[in-house]
Homo-oligomer: A and B are copies of this chain.
Amino acid sequence: MKFEAVDVRQTASAADIVYETLRKAIISGELAEGAALRQDQIARMFNTSRIPVREALTRLEQHGLATSQRYRGTIVAGLSIVEIEEIFEFRALIEAEVMRLAVPDLDEVTLETARRHCLEFDRETDPGRWSDINRRFHYTLYEASHRPYYLQTVGAALDRIDRYLRAQLTFTNGLMRAGREHEAILAACIAGDAERASRLTRDHVLDAGRSLVAFLREHRGA
């Protein structure tokens, strides 16, 4: 009889589950910005006491996904257009650098995986999934840079703007430019041209940012 060892240790605490669930709900936009996150209500939803809920809320706050005021409670954080612009600019800087560093270490398997995500992105019709596939495509390439700290900061930045991107993609039914840009980046990676891949990544992010900001100016005035 052949068998494998299974790690039976419980790794997910109640706080972990509440945190992950709320995090996904916030970055997907399911929980609108400004929405109140009531400890009692959330605790009832998850069949727990308020203690693990409070831990989840402080984690969200530390990541900038929620803001709290003493004795007044916690709400889903929102970003101004200026803040969104800054985050895109930041992403462009980091992701361009990560892409440059990744190119020399890309292997066949990784490139093939990236190509699959690229096709998947083009084929996907559900706007709610574009964001995830997009992230997987880029991260597949980025990981070859072996810069976990950079990627962590990029991930945090992405978490903050994801909902606005999703809103835009859902409304405009997708910007087809992204697909072409992915192909161009992938081509530069295959060619081993780090500078070009980096520059294209930078432009790709800045383009997305400009497009999103234009969309938001239209749809929330100012």
Contact call A90/B150, Cβ cutoff below 8 A: yes
Contact call B149/A11, Cβ cutoff below 8 A: no
A172 within 8 A of B: no
Interface residues of A in 144-173 (CB under 8 A from B): 147-150, 153, 157
A54 within 8 A of B: yes
Give the contact stretch, choosing among A55-63, A109-117, A175-183: A55-63
Q: Report how far A149 CA is from B158 CA in the complex, Å.
A: 13
Q: Report how far A153 CA is from B150 CA in the complex, Å.
A: 10
A10 within 8 A of B: yes
A47 within 8 A of B: no
Q: Report how far A150 CA is from B62 CA in the complex, Å.
A: 16
Interface residues of A in 38-83 (CB under 8 A from B): 51, 54-55, 58-59, 62-63, 70, 83
Chain B residues near A62 (CB, 8 Å)? 58-59, 62-63
Chain B residues near A148 (CB, 8 Å)? 86
Q: Report how far A171 CA is from B87 CA in the complex, Å.
A: 39
Interface residues of A in 187-221 (CB under 8 A from B): none
Nearest residue (CB) in B for A51 is B51
Chain B residues near A59 (CB, 8 Å)? 58, 62
Contact call B13/A70, Cβ cutoff below 8 A: yes
Rounded to whole Å, the gap between the CB of A15 and the closest CB of chain B is 8
Partner of A58 from the list B58, B90, B97 (CB cut-off 8 Å) is: B58
Interface residues of A (CB under 8 A from B): 10-11, 13, 51, 54-55, 58-59, 62-63, 70, 83, 86-87, 89-90, 93-94, 97, 147-150, 153, 157
- Offer 16 A-B interface pairs, CB within 8 angstroms, sorted by A: A10-B70, A51-B51, A54-B55, A58-B58, A58-B59, A62-B62, A83-B149, A86-B148, A86-B150, A87-B149, A89-B147, A90-B149, A90-B153, A93-B97, A149-B157, A153-B153
